[in-house]
Amino acid sequence: MSLLTTVMDHSLDEGYAEAAARKKARGDTGLPRPLRAKLGLAARLVLAALVVTVGAAQARVAAPVLAKEREELIDRVEAATAGADDLEDDVDELRDDVGERQQAALKKHGGSKGELLGLLSGATEVQGPGVKLVVDDKKQASQGGGGPRESNGFSDTGRVRDRDMQRVVNGLWQSGAEAISINDQRLTALSAIRAAGDAILVDNRPLVPPYTVLAVGAGQRLSTRFQNSADGQYLHALQENFGIRTSISVSDELRLPAAPSVTVRTAEPKAGKGTS
């Protein structure tokens, strides 16, 4: 009987009771670890969903503001573009007016030599027989360098450079050309052919290949003299060694535009006799 009484009064072994007391002191909930992990994951998922929901709500609120700012920016760009177009139109009108005044001044003060002076200075349009020379980059010309032309200020890439065009133009002048244009850009005594990166500039205006050079002169004679000159041979060497494409033809009628403006900064007309 004493054994049964002990079992009834002490159904849990003292060791289990002590272990339960230690867990309670540590704050252990007694839940199985897999269950605690699942509860922790569920809590993190709820938190992530809350963050996403708040972010979506904020984006929805900010969307109209961003759309309005974008529309305002587009309006500003369009207004600035329209203003630039208007300014370009004004510049063209003023350039035409300056050209007309220059021609009138040449006729008034130049007398019988006014037309010739306008032709030589590039202030008037010209037409007549001459030579059409087309110079173009090599097919699939690269942007890299590293060859012999680069050591002389060029790039061994098969691209036409500003110094190439300078030699072409100078060679045409020396061969007897009376007027020259490149891609409809009339050259004058004040014209400059320069480079900006890989672009060629004529009077600060960028040109795009192929470069079409029109030279008014004595047709076949001009063509022959240029091709036999040192600059013509230089152009032929570019074609043979670097793949630069060229073609030259004689034309019975070429038309060259007037230069946009001819600005003389220093020279003044000489006073005639009897002028005080």
pLDDT for the residue numbered 126: 87
Q: Which amino acid is at 214?
A: L
> By the 8 A CB rule, do 176 and 248 touch?
no
- Average pLDDT of span 139-151: 50
Would you say residue 37 has pLDDT above 50? yes
The order of strands in the sheet holding 245-256 is 185-186, 179-182, 211-216, 126-136, 245-256
- Average pLDDT of span 138-143: 67
Half-sphere exposure of 176 (CA within 13 A, CB side): 16
pLDDT for the residue numbered 261: 64
d(CA 153, CA 194): 13
Q: Which amino acid is at 131?
A: V
CATH of 128-256, picked from 3.30.930.10, 3.30.70.1880, 1.10.760.10, 3.40.50.460, is: 3.30.70.1880
Q: How confident is residue 72, by pLDDT bands cut at 50, 70 and 90? A: confident
Would you say residue 68 has pLDDT above 90? no
Q: Which residue has the tokens 């061969």?
A: 175
CA distances from 106 to 92, 193, 216, 256, 276 (A): 21, 27, 21, 19, 22
**Residue 84 CA from chain centroid, whole number:** 18
Q: Out of 49-63, 93-107, 218-232, give the one with best mean pLDDT.
A: 218-232
Would you say residue 178 has pLDDT above 50? yes
Q: Quick check: helix, strand or coil at residue 31?
A: coil
Would you say residue 174 has pLDDT above 70? yes
pLDDT for the residue numbered 146: 40
**The model's pTM:** 0.56
CA distances from 43 to 38, 48, 53 (A): 9, 9, 15
Beta bridge partners of 245: 136
Please count the helices (runs of H) and the strands (runs of E) in the chain: 8, 8
- Judged by average pLDDT, the poorest of 170-179, 215-224, 241-250, 266-275 is 266-275
- Average pLDDT of span 193-201: 87
Per-residue pLDDT tens for 11-32? 555 665 666 677 666 655 555 5
- Average pLDDT of span 169-192: 91
